[in-house]
Every structure is written in structure tokens, then in C-alpha cells.
A = this chain, B = another copy of it.
Amino acid sequence: MSALAAEPSAATHEDADRDAATKALVLTTAERLFAERGLRCVSVRDITAEAGVNLASVNYHFGSKDTLVFEIFRRRAAELSRDRARMLHEAQARHGGQAPVREILAALMAPPLLWSRPGHPRRIAMQFIIRARGEGGEAVREAVGKDVSHLRPFVAALIAARPDLPPEEVHWRLHFVLGMVHNNRVAEFERLHVLSEGLTRDGDTEALLNRMLDFAEAGFLR
């Protein structure tokens, strides 16, 4: 752990794209490969070969493979949290500070669903996040487990929307909702389509979101 290769240049503030095209190339290539094949099934050699850069680039720019994974995850997770927070804020603004349950849940559910749509610029990022949540190493798992700060505004909004419920109950119901959201993986959809023998067809994200909201809202308003 002694001496680590110095962070290259670091530009003026934080944008490392200007001088290090290699670093940005590694970031995007790694994210895509990780999203496609999973974290463990993509080696540093796969990434550097696909990106057309030298093998040592990953360790030079990021220190280690784990750090690279964590770096990508940190950026994307923060981005997703911002998206959710913005939707919540908009909903609260629309209702004079007190958003109804359905719109709070929509702010929680919509971003990951929308990001997963084909053609969305964050589609790969969303797949990566899902992969990293399940397959990530110690660093990612800690980041996911301990950083719950972005959920606090949602808890507060839900408690305010249902002041008659014990806060304990609100937390449990939020847990159930998050379970519904996290279950929206490609493999699970395929499983559902096999089970329903083609009856359920994905692609209509709007309809799925409404179905989820109907279900979750009913559970929450009970």
C-alpha cells in the first residue's frame, strides 16, 4: 500500500478528459464490458484490449481494478440519486411542498426504469449499476450498504404524506418498494416472459411504471 502512482495532472478541477483521453476511454469501455458480461468475467486485459490502450493503463490511472469499478459506480450512482432527488423536488414543488405518495414513489421508481429503456444514454450505466450492486467487491458493497443518505428525503416525504403511520412501518414499506425496483433485471423479465408464455411483453416502460405504481401505491395507502 506504500507509494501509489500519482494521479495524473488532475486538470484544473476534476475533469480528467482533457489531457487523458486514455483514462476516459478506459472508463467508458470498462463500464460497457462490465455491464455486458459482469465484473468478474471481464479482465483488465479485456478492457485494455477493447479500448486499444496499454495493459498498464488501468493500474496507472486508477490504481487497481477494484478502484476502477468503484470509480465508475460512484459516478453513476450519484447521477442516479440526483435524478431521483430532482424528480422528488419537482413533485414537492408541484404540490406546495407536500407531494402525494404516488409521486414520491414515482420519483423513486422512474429514473432506473427510464435509464433502462433502449436508446437511453444511461442504459449501459444502469446495467452496470445493477451488476455492481450484486457482483461488486468490498468497496462497492460498503458504498451501497452504508450510503443511504439519498434515501432520507424519500423517507421524510413518505412520513409526511402518511403521518398516521408509525415511521417503522414506512421504512418497511419502502423496503418492499425497493425490492420491486431492484428486481427489474433483464434475467427476471425473461423469466417472467417464459412463465407468462409471452403474455407479458416489455418495451412499454410507461405502462410498467404505472403498473408498479398502482401496486406499490395500494400497498402504501393501505
Contact = CB atoms under 8 A, between A and B. Distances in A.
Interface in A140-196: 141, 144-146, 148, 151-152, 155, 167-169, 171-176, 178-184, 187-188, 190-192, 194-196
Interface string A208-222: 100110111011111
Contact of A196 (B134, B171, B194): B171
Interface in A100-156: 134-135, 141, 144-146, 148, 151-152, 155
Contacts of A173: 211, 215
Given A176-B180, A179-B179, A195 B155 contact: yes
Contact of A172 (B187, B200, B216): B200
B215 A168 contact: no
B172 A211 contact: yes
A199 interface: yes
Q: Give 6 closest A-B pairs by Cβ, nearest first.
A: A179-B183, A215-B219, A171-B196, A218-B222, A148-B195, A179-B180
Contacts of A182: 179, 183
A168 B196 contact: yes
